[in-house]
Amino acid sequence: MRKLGLARLAALFALVLLAASLGLEHYLRVDRHGDVKRTIVSTWLNGQRRSRVVVKGKDPGPLGEVRGQRGFVAAEDVLDEGPVLSTNPIIFGASFVPGRDGVEAQYDDRVAYATVDDLLALQAYNHPLELGPIRLQLGVDPDVVLDALARELDTTRERLVEYGTFRRLALRHRHPPEPAPAVTVATLRAASIGAGAYLARAVRADGMYRYEVNGIDDHETDDYNWPRHCGATWYLAETANYTRDPVMLASVTRAARRLVDGAVGQCGEHRCVAVGDRADLGSSALGLLALVEIVEGGVMPELMPVVRDLAAFLRSQQRPDGEFKHFYDRSTNTPIDKQSLYYTGEAAFALARAERLTHDRRDLEAAKSALAYLVDYPFWYLGWHYFWGAEHWTCHALGALWEKAPNRKALSFCLEWQEAVRTTAIWDREANPEYDGATSAGPFVPPALVGTATRMEAAVSTLTAARLAGVPAKEIEALEAGIVKSLAFLMHFQLLPGPDYLMRAPRFMRGGIPNTPTDFHVRIDNPQHAGTALLHYLKVLEARQKPAP
């Protein structure tokens, strides 16, 4: 009897819970493929909204009210709407899909909208909610949204929360237009040069970059990071060499001059990139990479001695097993045998690239040995096939070394990593089909573009090596299909121009790669990584188009 009672209770509970869950899901669901219910038309000038009208149906019809004004007229289609369960910060915040949903508020017979454009301009999609020690990345920042709607409705936030009603609006935002651009030689060229042009504009007169700029308000952070200065200069040099654009060439010269004059110092008997007593390997490795590209392009041949010296410094830091000592104490002239993320791969790649210029066999041997160390996992370590760190530099080293020193184990390593990248990428996210192919940052948050970019630059280097190695066509096709899809994602959200009418300085931001589709901060390594992926794949396609010699 008690057994039966327990079973009945469990079954009843399961049924009630299932019914409640299905009911809740159905109640909240919106149709993003339906007809346009109405269109919200806004005029933007200098990043500020100047006017707004709401028209029924798809065609906004005569826009006299907004057409008479200067500015950009942006239309957002309301496809459907749904309820908002509560103004509790957690529930309200999580009730909207970033970049897709807006808010309608009714208060005292008045209606106000916070559309996707408004929320992007308010930067309301990017604020994490802190709940004790837990940081939740929700759909919108409830404080920012409720304050903005209260201002719009000429009331206080408290009164709006108490007496107002809220609806979720499923919107179709027309900028950037859908679908994502096709990946062709022309679009890749525009995107990669756009990323380089952004970096060229970001180099100030003193050779330092505007390190991280908020695309919405043009505000600049105070941080600076020399490894990223070097990495950005590497990509800028590569684009400048590709285009021979005088503005880019002048910018890369300023950035390189600043690097050499302001950050290259002595590390014992060699020169290294260092500011302060402690030098790190990554700065010198990426500095070497940048200078190799610059000298190779014939821009500043006088820097060749620095190239040789930086390569010698990297070699001097290498241990007999191939690993590097990642730091150097300049006050005592002592290498520090501690390791940090990225640096070994960066050094391996930089030495492999440097050897093409220095023709010094020691650079090649050092790069080979470092790459072998990076993929030297014992056969019994199963995790090798399932867990990866950020391995883009490893795969760059693989690609750079392949012709002179092919490493099959490294090729398998990079191919397996890329398979995992494809499998774990975002596919078929109903609310955001435009994220297909992106590296996920979590199921409910917009993906970070730089995460996808680093994986794709590695993918293109892997593709180059795989083709030379005669990897089966099926695997190469899968690798390339993943590259095409992910590059389309990157190009879709590159600020080329993106929703430039929301920005204070759209001309400066043009070509920048934002943090995410809804966070328009551009740090200099974003265009570097994305640009590298785009430009290297462009070069692959261009090489294919050339007739065989």
Residue 259's alpha-carbon distances to 14, 208, 278, 359, 388, in angstroms, are 65, 8, 17, 24, 32
| # residues contacting other proteins (CB under 8 A) | 44
Q: How far is the CB of 4 from other proteins (least distance, A)?
A: 10
Choices 6-14, 336-344, 409-417, 484-492 (CB under 8 A): range interacting with other proteins: 6-14
Bridge-based pairing state of the strands 264-267 and 212-214: unpaired
Instruction: Report the largest interatomic distance among the alpha carbons of the chain, rounded to a whole angstrom.
Output: 92
Q: Which of 230, 426, 502, 513 binds other proteins (CB under 8 A)?
A: 426
82 binding other proteins? (CB under 8 A)? yes
d(CA 366, CA 353) in angstroms, rounded, equals 12
d(CA 484, CA 119) in angstroms, rounded, equals 30
Choices 5-13, 109-117, 327-335, 483-491 (CB under 8 A): range interacting with other proteins: 5-13
Our CB check for other proteins shows the closer of 21 and 46 to be 21
3 binding other proteins? (CB under 8 A)? yes
443 binding other proteins? (CB under 8 A)? yes
Q: How far is the CB of 526 from other proteins (least distance, A)?
A: 23
Choices 89-97, 104-112, 185-193, 529-537 (CB under 8 A): range interacting with other proteins: 89-97
428 binding other proteins? (CB under 8 A)? yes
Angle of helix 343-358 versus helix 281-296 axis, rounded to 10 = 30
Q: How far is the CB of 105 from other proteins (least distance, A)?
A: 18
For residue 220, the cross-strand partners are 213
Token couple for 390: 């950020």
d(CA 6, CA 333) in angstroms, rounded, equals 74
Our CB check for other proteins shows the closer of 82 and 262 to be 82
d(CA 115, CA 139) in angstroms, rounded, equals 13
Choices 18-26, 357-365, 411-419, 484-492 (CB under 8 A): range interacting with other proteins: 18-26
Our CB check for other proteins shows the closer of 139 and 506 to be 139
The answer to whether the beta carbons of residues 489 and 180 sit under 8 Å apart is yes
29 binding other proteins? (CB under 8 A)? yes
Token couple for 463: 């593709």
Mind giving me the DSSP string for 154-206?
TS-HHHHHHH-EEEEEEEEE-SS-SSPPP--HHHHHHHHHHHHHHHHHHB-TT
Q: How far is the CB of 391 from other proteins (least distance, A)?
A: 20
Q: How far is the CB of 344 from other proteins (least distance, A)?
A: 27
Q: Which of 431, 469, 471, 505 binds other proteins (CB under 8 A)?
A: 431
The amino acid occupying position 15 is L
Q: Which of 11, 27, 61, 162 binds other proteins (CB under 8 A)?
A: 27
Q: Which long-range contacts (CB under 8 A, 24 or more apart) does 218-224 make?
A: 218/503, 218/504, 218/505, 218/508, 218/509
Q: Which of 12, 22, 341, 541 binds other proteins (CB under 8 A)?
A: 22
Q: Which of 44, 96, 313, 342 binds other proteins (CB under 8 A)?
A: 96
6 binding other proteins? (CB under 8 A)? yes
d(CA 357, CA 295) in angstroms, rounded, equals 8
Choices 359-367, 393-401, 413-421, 439-447 (CB under 8 A): range interacting with other proteins: 439-447
Choices 126-134, 145-153, 193-201, 204-212 (CB under 8 A): range interacting with other proteins: 126-134
Our CB check for other proteins shows the closer of 97 and 414 to be 97
Beta strands in 305-445 (DSSP E): 327-329, 334-336
Q: How far is the CB of 433 from other proteins (least distance, A)?
A: 9
Q: Which of 133, 305, 320, 472 binds other proteins (CB under 8 A)?
A: 133
Q: Which of 134, 382, 473, 543 binds other proteins (CB under 8 A)?
A: 134
Q: Which of 444, 480, 497, 539 binds other proteins (CB under 8 A)?
A: 444
Q: Which of 51, 225, 316, 440 binds other proteins (CB under 8 A)?
A: 440
Q: Which of 429, 467, 504, 539 binds other proteins (CB under 8 A)?
A: 429
Q: Which of 39, 95, 233, 241 binds other proteins (CB under 8 A)?
A: 95
Q: Which long-range contacts (CB under 8 A, 24 or more apart) does 208-212 make?
A: 208/258, 209/255, 209/524, 210/524, 211/523, 211/524, 212/521, 212/522, 212/523, 212/524
Q: Which of 62, 132, 246, 383 binds other proteins (CB under 8 A)?
A: 132
Choices 13-21, 50-58, 146-154, 381-389 (CB under 8 A): range interacting with other proteins: 13-21
403: which residues sit within 8 A by CB, 6+ positions away? Answer: 468
d(CA 461, CA 14) in angstroms, rounded, equals 51
What is the DSSP-derived secondary structure letter of residue 547? P
Bridge-based pairing state of the strands 212-214 and 165-173: unpaired
Which is nearest to 447 in space by CA: 463, 461, 433? 433
What are φ and ψ of residue 5, in 5° steps? -60, -40
d(CA 98, CA 139) in angstroms, rounded, equals 5
Q: Which of 12, 15, 17, 481 binds other proteins (CB under 8 A)?
A: 17
472 binding other proteins? (CB under 8 A)? no
d(CA 447, CA 444) in angstroms, rounded, equals 9
Q: Which of 8, 11, 12, 13 binds other proteins (CB under 8 A)?
A: 13
Q: Which of 12, 15, 20, 185 binds other proteins (CB under 8 A)?
A: 20
Our CB check for other proteins shows the closer of 420 and 505 to be 420
Q: How far is the CB of 17 from other proteins (least distance, A)?
A: 6
Q: Which of residues 155-174 bind other proteins (CB under 8 A)?
A: 168
Residue 424's alpha-carbon distances to 82, 418, 461, in angstroms, are 30, 10, 20
Residues that bind other proteins (CB under 8 A): 1-3, 6-7, 10, 13, 17-18, 20-22, 24-29, 32, 82, 85, 91, 94-97, 101, 131-134, 139, 168, 424-431, 440, 443-444
